[in-house]
Amino acid sequence: MGSEDSGLYRCKAEAATPRITKMSRVSRVLVQRIPVSDVNLEIQPPGGQLIEGENLVLICSVAAGTGNITFSWHKEGTSLGRKTQRSLLAELRVPAVQKRDTGRYYCAADNNHVPILSKRITVTVRIPVSHPVLTFRTPRAQAVVGDVVGLHCEALGGSPPILYQFYHEDVILGNILAPSGGGASFNLSLTAEHSGNYSCAANNGLGAQRSEVVALSITDPKLLPLKLKYISWLSGNSRRRIVLMTTGVTGGLLLILVFAATWLYRIKSQKKPGFAVKIVAT
């Protein structure tokens, strides 16, 4: 019975022989609906924590209520959908949730009475971290022993908090937690042993991501003391000078090239007197 079955009822009896028909008295039947009560919202997966791309299922139910019940779902005042059916529960599916789906959800139910609201449930959509990028912050173009170098690791995407780990040749240098997201930096005072490959990793509990490997070359001034200051030569009555400023291996290579050029020049200039080469090195 539904409320639409309310009305006046009577019955009729008829004898086959002889034809006699009798009608009953009229009876009034009133069918009253039981209002909905105890509206409850349940979400799947439970707990309110979802990963971006998962499906969110909102299940709205009532403990009691008769007739057609209209269910509606809402997110912070915005209507998400509605269904009317002769059932004590209904569900709404939100496919492939995104970060924008984070918020407080509730549902409502009514059967031509005052709508009853459920309690609000907070849903949080978390995003896995993206591949982080590792960069160096050095005081000069070529790092030398004693410099303080900053290693900065940052994942452009991902829900906080994010834990960053810094590696030198797969050996962990340190861990830094970014509670509000963004990047993290790690300072390193360079020694000769710090030359090599560096990388970093980011993890927010949804899977770790590793950066690409970045190489760092470090120069030790104590191991490369040669400095070629200048070269001068005299040819005939003219004197010319070239000033060269360089250090380390570059200076050694340049010195070899100078000797080779000098030797070739002397072969070609054997008939020209007064040729001399002067190399001053420290």
For position 275, what pLDDT does the model report? 46
Quick one: tokens of 258?
């100078």
Nearest CA-CA partner of 235 in 199, 193, 267, 274? 274
For position 31, what pLDDT does the model report? 84
Instruction: In whole angstroms, give the CA distance from residue 53 to residue 125.
Output: 9
CB distance 211 to 132 below 8 Å? yes
Instruction: In whole angstroms, give the CA distance from residue 258 to residue 277.
Output: 10
Nearest CA-CA partner of 51 in 8, 97, 19? 97
Instruction: In whole angstroms, give the CA distance from residue 70 to residue 177.
Output: 48
Residue 110: count other Cβ atoms within 10 Å of its Cβ: 20
Domain limits, the chain: 40-126, 133-216, 228-281
Domain 40-126 matches domain 133-216 at the CATH topology level: yes
**In a 3-state reduction of DSSP, which class is residue 33?**
coil
Rounded mean pLDDT of the chain? 84
For position 194, what pLDDT does the model report? 93
- Beta strand 12-15 with 20-23: parallel, antiparallel or unpaired? antiparallel
DSSP string over 52-95: TT--EEEEEE-SB--S-EEEEEEETTEEEEEEEESSSEEEEEE-
Assess if CATH 2.60.120.10 describes domain 133-216.
no
22-48 pLDDT tens trace? 999 999 998 888 899 999 999 999 988
47-87 pLDDT tens trace? 889 999 999 999 999 999 988 999 999 999 899 999 999 99
Strands across the sheet with 56-61, in order? 40-44, 56-61, 89-94
For position 262, what pLDDT does the model report? 61
CB distance 202 to 132 below 8 Å? yes
Quick one: tokens of 229?
């200051």
For position 224, what pLDDT does the model report? 52
172-186 pLDDT tens trace? 999 999 999 999 999
The residue with greater pLDDT, 269 or 83, is: 83
What mean pLDDT do residues 91-99 have? 95
Quick one: tokens of 143?
């790092």
111-159 pLDDT tens trace? 988 899 999 999 999 999 999 999 999 888 888 999 999 999 999 999 9
For position 17, what pLDDT does the model report? 78
Quick one: tokens of 206?
């949804």
What mean pLDDT do residues 216-226 have? 72
The residue with greater pLDDT, 78 or 267, is: 78
Which of 20-24, 51-55, 166-170, 254-258 shows the lowest mean pLDDT across its residues?
254-258
Quick one: tokens of 214?
């970045």
CB distance 245 to 229 below 8 Å? yes
**CATH dotted code for 40-126:** 2.60.40.10
For position 23, what pLDDT does the model report? 92
